Each structure stands twice: as C-alpha cells, then as structure tokens.
Structure 1
Amino acid sequence: MKKILFIATVESHILNFHIPFIQYFQNKGCEVHVATKLGNRQDELKKLGIVCYDIDFERSPYSFSNLKALNQLIKIMREDKYSLIHVHTPVGAFLGRLAAKITGTKPVIYTAHGFHFYKGASIKNWLIYYTMERLAAHWTDGLITMNDEDYNAAKRFKLRKSNAVFYVHGVGLDIDKYNISDKNERKQTRKAFGFGEKDIVILTVAELNANKNHKQILDSLIKLKSLDNVYYLIVGIGEYECYLKKYVEENGLSGKVKLLGFRLDIPDLLNISDIFALTSMREGLPRCIMEAMAAGKPVVATDVRGNRDLVKDGTNGYLVPLDDVNATVDALQNLIESEDLRKKMGDEGRKIIQDYSIDKVLKEMDEIYRRLFI
C-alpha cells in the first residue's frame, strides 16, 4: 500500500483546508499520514483513519524547536518510505522538503498558501522567507500557487522538475453549504442576536492578530456612529483579543460590536449578515471571502494580494487601500445605503466563486497529482 505524507505546521491548517485531498488519496487505496503540531482537535484527524505524528513545529523560523522537528521528520520518513510528500505552511514546508532531501524521499509537492515575501513586505521577510523558498525550490517537484502574484514569483524559482509551477483556484469550497436563502431562519437568528430586519450587519471571520487589521473596520465604524442600525460581528480567536475588546470599549463601540470567538456556524452567520469585510495587510487566497461570495454577500476588502484575486472592485464589492479609513467608510456607506447594490454585488460574487468550487479544484489537483505521482 502506498503511503502519502501531508505536512503543515499546525493541525488546524490540515483540518480546515486539506481533508478533501487526504480523502482523494484514501479513495485510491493509499494510507495517509499527517505530520503536524497536534492540539485539541487531533481526534478529528484520527477518526478519518489518518495516521498522525506530533511534530515540534514552531511558526517562527528562528525557533530552535524546529531543529527537533527536522529530526522527527527525518525519522518518520526513514521508517515509513513515503510514495509522495505534500507540504504546506512556510516552516513546515521548508523542514519537510529538507527532510525529504536528506532521506531521498520524492516526489515532493509544495502548496504555497501565500508567500511571506510579497510586494510591500518588509526587508526582513524578503531576506528570510525568499531565501528559504529559493533554496527549498531545488528540492521540490511541484509548486502550487493560488494567486497571480505568487504564481509569477514562483515561476522564477528553479525546481527539480521543469514546468512544474501550477496555479489552482484555492483549496476548494463546498459552495452549496453557504447558499442559505431561508428568510424566516435569517429573521429568527437575527432576532436571537438582537438585530431587527432593518439593521445592517457587517461580518469579519479572521484570526485576531495584527495582520488581519480589524482596527481599520473599527475606525470606520467610529466615523459611522451616527448610523444607529449598523452592527459589526467579529469571528475568530487570537492574541489580539484583549486589545480589540479594549479598543471597542474605549471608542464607545460596545453596543455596536460583538466578538464571537471561535465558531463553527459560519454559514448561518453569513446568512444573517449584509456585508462581509476583511482588511488584512497580507493574504494568500482568503477562504473567508470565498465563503462570503458563496453566500451572496458583497465584500469590502483591502487591495492586497489574494483579496484582489477574488474581489473585483465595483463588481462584487470594493477594494480599499490598506489603512485608508475614509475609503473604507465610503465603501461601507455605499452598501449600507442600498439594498439593491448589496444584492447586485452579492449575485456577482456568486457567479465568480463557481470557479473555486471543491469539485473544480479537485479536478485541478488530480491533474497535478497524476502528472507528478500517479
């Protein structure tokens, strides 16, 4: 039986993005293993018949723990003799490819979910991450990207195989899951949150950290305070939770903003929302925007890599400059004031997102796997 190894720095990455591709191999009779830093969701992986290895990864490339992680990867590769390794996330991908190089394991496929070097990134990021990627490219048989900027950057790398840089439409989305049109259910759920039919609900689903830049929306809401019927829901957890709660309180937004923490009912929350917002500093190809588009919601997003691959300015939403609060206010106000515009842009988003369905992405990945492995 062929054994396939998926590598990512954290287990949530595997669970959130890669289960359909793991099942793709299981359906072909392969045994799938996962090497990641296991946490409180590891039972979800094991229930799917996945063999799990707990690896001492740290997200920071400077952590000495990653030397231990490298040795752990070398050990399991020598013991299990994998037929294919598919690596993800910068640190996990680099160490996984290095371990594969040391053990002579191949082919190795790398999916870049958003290079940490990009237009506008710090010199430090370019020095560290660009160097890592350029070096590890020599140990890579196939490199998968999911936005235009990364695709063009990846084509400059020298891979082990020629013509092996690919563009796919993200990690795939179960579009029907987000297409909820039950008006009565929307009304009842909004009522449970304390929202009336005429209230406007803005939603963000994103980890609470510096990169996701929730403050740009909060600062926009401060300027929109006079609109009594506008509310903001934030879904996510992270190290910025205390900071955001304090910022909301200090700026008189406590009655307007709800931090909901970790949630599994994203389709329902999208159903009760009117506008989706994501003002990140950096993205690869944000799944949360894809979900919002599938739910028929207009999107206000920063004009950065990844966001601009999904949001066509003036068509299915608005792209605003990073940290430009006035432009964000204008975009939100346009949508707040016009139900017809919200519906029109939401409908356009539904059309665009069809190319990103899980069925289409699985077909794209099938072609890549067949070319490099099967």
Structure 2
Amino acid sequence: MHFFVKEGNSIVNGTKKVLFSATVYSHLAAFHKPFMKMLQEKGYEVHAAANPDHGRKEEIEEMGVVCWDIPFSRSPYHIDNFKAMSKLTHLFHNHYFDLIHVHTPVASFLVRYMAKKCKQGPVLYTAHGFHFYKGAPIQNWLIYYTAEKLARRWTDGLIVMNKEDYDNGKKLGFKEKESLFFTHGVGVSFDQYSVSTDSSGYVRQQLNIADNDIVITCIAELIERKNHIYLLRNWKNILNYSPNIHCLIVGTGRKEAELKKYVEQNQLKNIHFLGFRKDIPEILSQSDIVTLLSFHEGLPRCVMEAMVSGKPIVVTNIRGSRDLVKHGVNGFVVDLEDDQSLIESFVKLINDKKLREQMGQASLNEIQPYSLTNVLHEMQRIYSRFIRE
C-alpha cells in the first residue's frame, strides 16, 4: 500500500501512516494493542506518541510500532504540555499521518489542535469517560466541557462507549453515525476469561479460604475514585449476616496504606489485599461475587472481565457501570452512599447460590456484544470511513 506524502518540504513515496496517541504508553499498551495490530495487518505503518514515564513503551515497540516520546502531562496546567506542543510540531512537520486516533483528555486536546494546525489527516478521539459527567464537580464542567467544545472543530470523529457520553457528544455538536460513534468499549477477550485456566484453586489455598466460603472480589486501583471505603465501612454489617465470607482487594495505588490502616483500626476480618496481580482470570474463577463501587467510570474493564467469567456484579449507579450491569438481572446497581441497599445486595447474593448462578449466566449473555472480536469489527468500520484506500 504505497502513496505520496509530504515529509518536511519534500514529497516521498511511502506507506500510509496511522498515529495513536495518549498521555502515557501504558494506556496504549493496556487497551489499544489489538487495534494497532489490526491496522498493521492491513498494511499501515503504525506510530505512537506518548509519555514514557509510566512504562510499557517496550510492549508497543515490540509490535513494530514507531514510538515518539512526547512529554504530555495529565494536568492541563503543567508546563510540560508546552514542550509537548513543540515536539508535536516537529513530528507533524516531518510526517504526514493519514489517520490520527487520540485518547486521554489532555494529550488528545493538544494532538487534535496541532494536527489540524499542521494539516494532518482525519483525527478520531475516543472518550474513555468524559471528565464531565452527571455529579461531577463544577470545575470539571468548566474546564473539560469547555475544552471539548473548543476541540470539536478539530475532531473528525468522536467515539464513546456509554450512553451518558453519547448524549453529551450530541450536545457538543457531533452528529450520530457521521461524526459520533458508539462502540462496546475496548473489547474483552473471551478466550482469556470465559474458561478457567485454573484447576487447583491455589488462590483460595494461599489465603486459607475454604471451598464453601463466599469470595467477593474488587479489582481496582487503590485510589479515591474507586471508593473502596464504601465496602469497607459496611463490611462488619455484611459479616453479621454471614461470617464465612472473604473480600479480595486486587490492585495498588496511593490509598493502599490508608485503606490497610482503616482495616486494622476497625478490626475488619477476612479482608485480603492482594496487590498487583497478573493472574486475574484465576482470581475471578475462584470468586463468587465481583464488585466495583466507583464514583465515576467510563466503561470499567474489570466489570466486563467479571461478566465474561460468569459472575454476578454489584456496582454503584454511575455512568459505565450501569451500562454493563442491569439491576436484578446480572447483578445489583446501588446508589452512592446507600449503605442499606449495598448490604442487602450482597446479602441476597451471599445467601442464594441459585441467584448467583442465574445472574452469572445473565452476565455471560449481556457481555456478548463487548467481545474483542466484535469491537475490532466496530472499529474497522469506523476507520474505513476516514482512511481513503
């Protein structure tokens, strides 16, 4: 697939190029490798632009993707973003991209602006959860909604993955099926999660959890937004209904020490901090219930993984989570701060194995459109609208 492109002030013969960009390479490595690979297999030369500070750049490079280190900062006020604009100017002066696909708010704003200024090809933006949402602080709306309203003129296509963001996309001026597109997230591999790779039950064995005990698992970064304290402050009341239950908290983050201190000070039993784990399919296979009680999400992948694993889910009534979990069907959706509803939801599932099995099967049914195979097809159709063959 060859064509003529501008490179600097010259015209050269080369392969069509696509650029993926996000604040950090770890975001691209976690969510977008399948889409990069898909475009490579179609003959495109794939590039990536991100900040290398959080690691995983080598995973992108190992794919044969050309990487450009750009010092993006998550903070819209950080001076590094001015340096990022300078590096983007240099990149766009020397390379023409037939398509640019951007992710994460600050990096996407800068790339979209510079791409249009430097007359690059079409630019797509995937919103993995707008920073403005129902219940968000007013400053989020002032900063991020205003920024997206401004960036609308530089954005050829907006891709969203939940209903609330879709509605906000229309408010921003995007047109359905012309410049506004819905996809079922970034996809989840059914092969990896739907069939347990574990036959030994080693997770329970390591933690001295009996086979008949109930395991509730929360897989999330240990940060304020994930709201672990909502479960912990109600844990004693849940235990009062059934003492043979355990909670697995999987993940790391800046709130780790604080959460562990809370557990110790309140003498909470059967709470297990597992830290960062690579054996998530095995952990899910040995769990009975999965929960995520965040203040806000885009479309939580950990919930999708739990659904593929055939588990009932308890989530908070927020964007993204309520797109995946139907109350009373494949789990329970509870309002933030509604302690009684949270307790009752867990107790119903703890005490009723048949209900757990029914809701687990419903999770498997509900998750089908979110398969990686289906999402790859969705993205292929979108890309084909903007890349001229």
TM-score (norm 1): 0.96
In 2, the alpha carbon distance for the partners of 1:197 and 1:184 equals 13
Which runs of 5 or more structure 2 residues have no equivalent in the other structure? 1-14
Q: In 2 relative to 1, CA 111–182 (structure 1 residues): closer, same or farther, beyond 3 Å?
A: closer
| Equivalence for 2:58 | 43
Measured after TM superposition, the shift of residue 44 of structure 1 is: 1.4
For 2:325 and 2:102, the matched residues in 1 are separated by 28
Deviation at 1:225, TM superposition (A): 3.1
The alignment-based identity, stated in percent, is 48
Q: 1:82 aligns with which of 92, 97, 103?
A: 97
Contact 2:130 2:298 in 1 (8 A): yes
The separation in 2 between residues aligned to 1:263 and 1:76, in whole angstroms, is 37
**1:51-97 CA deviation, whole Å, 9 max, x = no partner?**
11222111111212111112222221221211111000111111110
Aligned equivalents of 1:183 and 1:243: distance in 2? 32
1:260 is displaced (CA, Å) by: 1.6
Alpha-carbon distance in structure 1 between the residues aligned to 2:346 and 2:86: 50
Give 1:233's aligned residue.
Answer: 248
Mark the CA change 1:147 to 1:97 in structure 2 (over 3 Å): closer, same or farther: same
Q: Is the 8 A contact 1:216 1:324 kept in 2?
A: no
2:209 to 195, 211, 214: 195
Is 2:130 the partner of 1:115?
yes
Secondary structure of 2:262's partner? Answer: helix
User: 2-side partners of 1:55 and 1:183: how far apart?
Assistant: 41
Against the structure 1 CA distance between its residues 88 and 290, is the aligned structure 2 distance closer, same or farther, given a 3 Å change threshold?
same
Instruction: Give the CA deviation at 1:141.
Output: 0.6
**Equivalence for 1:128:** 143
* Aligned residue number for residue 301 of structure 2: 287
Q: Which residue in the other structure is 1:223 paired with?
A: 237
Q: Which residue is equivalent to 1:100?
A: 115
Asked if the contact 2:170/2:176 (under 8 Å) is kept, the reply is: no
For the residues of structure 1 that align with 2:100 and 2:30, how far apart are their CA atoms? 19
State whether structure 2 residue 339 is matched by structure 1 residue 325: yes
User: Structure 1 CA distance, aligned partners of 2:105 and 2:384?
Assistant: 25
Q: CA RMSD in A?
A: 1.6
Q: Which amino acid aligns with 1:257?
A: I
Specify whether residues 228 and 45 from structure 1 end up closer, same or farther in structure 2 by C-alpha distance, changes over 3 A only: same
Do structure 1's residue 260 and structure 2's residue 274 form an aligned pair? yes
Mapped to 1, the partners of 2:165 and 2:308 lie a distance apart of 24
Structure 2: how far apart are the matches of 1:66 and 1:209? 25
Look up the match of 2:6.
Answer: none
CA displacement, residues 243-300 of structure 1 (integer Å, 9 cap, x when unaligned): 11111111112x4112222211110110111100000000111111000000001000
What residue number does 1:341 align with? 355
Distance 1:145 1:289 in 2: 17
Contact kept? 1:141, 1:161, Cα under 8 Å: no
TM-superposed CA distance for 1:158, in Å, is 3.2
Are the aligned partners of 1:285 and 1:306 in contact in 2 as well (CA < 8 Å)? yes
Q: Work out which of the residue numbers 8, 31, 38 in structure 2 matches 1:17.
A: 31
TM-score by length of 2: 0.92
**Residue 148 of structure 2 aligns to which amino acid in structure 1?**
E
**Residue in structure 2 matching 1:57, options 72, 87, 92:** 72
Q: Name the counterpart of 2:85.
A: 70
User: CA 1:68–1:128 in 2, change beyond 3 Å: closer, same or farther?
Assistant: same
Change (3 A) 1:191 1:175: same
Read off the aligned partner of 2:42 and give its amino acid letter.
Answer: K
- For the Cα contact (< 8 Å) 1:208–1:241, is it kept in 2? yes
Distance 1:372 1:321 in 2: 40
Q: Which moved more, 1:149-158 or 1:134-143?
A: 149-158
